[in-house]
Amino acid sequence: MLILNESQNFMIGKRGKKLITSEGNLPDDREQIEKLEEIENQKSLKRLIEYLKLRKSEKRLSPIDLLLFNYTNDNLKKEINEKVSIESI
C-alpha cells in the first residue's frame, strides 16, 4: 500500500490526460466550473511548489517525489522547474 501526501497526489493527478470528448460551446455554468477548477488547480500548484522547495532545501526529496515529478505532464514539469529546479538533482 502506498500513501501519498497532498502534493504527491496533485502530481499524480497531473501526469497527463487525453480529452475524450469534444465540448463545443460550453454553457455558462460549465464555464464557471472550469474557472473554479483552474483557481483550485493554481492553489494546488502553489502548495506543490512550496512543498518541493521545502523538501529540496532540507535535502528530503523522496524517491516517490522524484518518480511522481518525472511522470508529471511536461507543461507542469516546466513550470515547477522554473521555481524549484528539480531536474538538476
Q: Which of 69, 66, 59 is nearest to 15 (CA)?
A: 69
pLDDT tens per residue across span 17-37: 655 555 555 566 788 888 899
What type of residue sits at position 18?
A: K
pLDDT tens profile 52-64: 999 999 999 999 9
3 grid coordinates: 500513501
Name the nearest CA neighbour of 76 among 40, 41, 50, 51: 41
Q: Of 69, 74, 68, which is closest to residue 87 (Cα–Cα)? A: 69
